[in-house]
Amino acid sequence: MARFPNLLTLPLGEFEDLHTAAVYGMEVCPEYFGTYPVPLLTPWGYTARYKTIHNGVYWIETDQCVSTLAVCYVIRDDFSKMTLCLSELTEYDKEHGLDHTLGYCFFREADSCLPLLELVQNNSRWDWSLIDKPALMNAVWTRFPVYAAAHNMREQWGRNDGFGIMLRALGIETELQSSPENMIVLTPDGGIKFLNFL
């Protein structure tokens, strides 16, 4: 230890260890920390092929011929409770806890439209060229109509205005804003095939 005294004083900020700091660093600075690795194991077997949708978001085909959406631990923090309830974990992550393994959440192909919609809405600066957004919204209306209707009502009432809600919590009176761009709309003839690479 005497040969490396600076390692003992490395500031980790809010993170408990260097590994956790690096995992969070992969999201904001992948050119330094590297990109999130593609998971080798899913709840439905080993990864046979994959397509990168974004760093930490992968479309995986397994050796058991199952297609799944994989979202890394750090990015899944953006998901609603309903979306998290749709996710599945590997046995290892169930045993050790996702907060410790920093692994992946997996979504069945039929359920993948909902987490992708939430990612698209919360990360507008990402490159979404692999996603057909109108078809994605159609798929959400087809598969999760109650979610889509509730989301649109919250949007109309301004309940999706996080900044306005925060100001109100701080005691600053403000009018909550709604945006038509954030509505989940049906597009006639848009279909429900939302992955441009399939």
Tens digits of per-residue pLDDT, 66-111?
999 999 988 888 899 999 999 999 999 999 998 888 899 999 999 9
Residue range 43-65: mean pLDDT, rounded: 97
Query: Across 73-196, where does the E strand assignment appear?
Result: 104-108
Angstrom distance (rounded) from CA 54 to CA 58: 7
Angstrom distance (rounded) from CA 164 to CA 54: 29
Q: For the stretch 112-138, what's the b/e string if a residue is b when 16 or more beta carbons lie within 10 angstroms of its beta carbon?
A: bbbbbbbbbeeeeeeebebbbbbbbbb
What pLDDT, on the 0 to 100 scale, is given for residue 19? 63
**Residue 105 DSSP SS3:** strand
Q: What angle do CA 99, 33, 127 make, to 5 degrees?
A: 90
What pLDDT, on the 0 to 100 scale, is given for residue 163? 67
What pLDDT, on the 0 to 100 scale, is given for residue 45? 97
Token output for 20: 């956790």
Token output for 158: 């301004």
Write the secondary structure of 26-90 as one string of H (helix), E (strand) and C (coil). Answer: HHHCHHHHCCCCCCCEECCEEEEEEEEEECCEEEEEECCCCEEEEEECCHHHHCCHHHHHHCECC
Q: Which residues contact 122 (CB under 8 A, 6 or more apart)?
A: 78
Residue range 16-38: mean pLDDT, rounded: 72
Residue range 4-11: mean pLDDT, rounded: 50
pLDDT at 51 over 90: yes
Comparison of pLDDT for 116 and 180, the residue scoring more: 116
Q: What is the pLDDT of residues 160-189, one digit of tens each?
A: 666 666 776 788 887 766 677 788 999 998
What pLDDT, on the 0 to 100 scale, is given for residue 99? 83
Token output for 194: 């939302």
pLDDT at 50 over 60: yes
Q: What is the pLDDT of residues 118-152, one digit of tens each?
A: 999 888 889 999 999 999 999 999 999 999 999 89
Token output for 127: 């490159």
Residue range 61-70: mean pLDDT, rounded: 97
Angstrom distance (rounded) from CA 36 to CA 58: 10
Query: What is the pLDDT of the chain when averaged over all its residues?
Result: 85
pLDDT at 26 over 80: no
The DSSP call for residue 175 is P
Q: Where are the domains of the chain?
A: 1-34, 39-112, 132-198
Angstrom distance (rounded) from CA 120 to CA 105: 17
